[in-house]
Structure 1
Amino acid sequence: MTRDELTAVLEKKGMTEIIELIEDAENGHLEELELAPSLGLLRDDELNKAVLAYLEEQGVTIIYVNEDDE
């Protein structure tokens, strides 16, 4: 999915915070993103994968945190 396609879908769904994350990554203001593996970033699995892949292409390191309550 291209950046334009990605942002169009996100805009349609009202996900402005995710668009801001993308813009931050493109401008070098986002280096790492911590996520719980079971939650991801978005509820839509396909869109989640596309956004995470795009962020990684922009140099963002995705860090999956331990979900244990220890």
Structure 2
Amino acid sequence: MTKDELKSVLKVKEMEEILELIEEAESGELAELEIVESLGLLRDETLNKEVLRVLKEEGVSIIYISGNDA
């Protein structure tokens, strides 16, 4: 899935906060993101993987934390 396709899917699903994360990554405002490893960002596993891939491509460091650290 291309970044534009992903953004379209997120718009249709009204996932504005995730779209904002991608926009912040594109503009260089987001350098790193902490995620609870067992939860991810989204419940949809496919979308979650795609969003994380795009964020990484934009240079965002993904930091996984355990549920105990959250």
TM-score bin (small chain): over 0.9
The alignment partner of 1:35 has SS state of strand
Structure 2 partner of 1:55:
55
* CA–CA separation in structure 2 for the residues paired with 1:59 and 1:31: 7
Question: Residue 67 of structure 2: SS of its match in structure 1?
Answer: coil
Alpha-carbon distance in structure 1 between the residues aligned to 2:3 and 2:25: 12
Structure 1 unaligned spans of 5+ = none
Give per-residue Cα distances to partners, 1:14-61, cap 9 Å, x unaligned. 001100000000000000000011100000000000000000000000
1:3, distance to aligned residue in structure 2 (A): 1.2
- What SS is found at the alignment partner of 2:52? helix
Report the residue type matching 1:34 in the other structure: E
Residue identity (%) = 61
TM-score under structure 2 length normalisation: 0.94
Gaps of 5+ in 2: none
After superposing on structure 2, the runs of 4+ consecutive aligned residues of structure 1 that deviate more than 3 Å are none
Count how many residue pairs are aligned between Structure 1 and Structure 2.
Answer: 69
Counterparts of residues 1-70 of structure 1 (less than 5 Å): 1-68=1-68
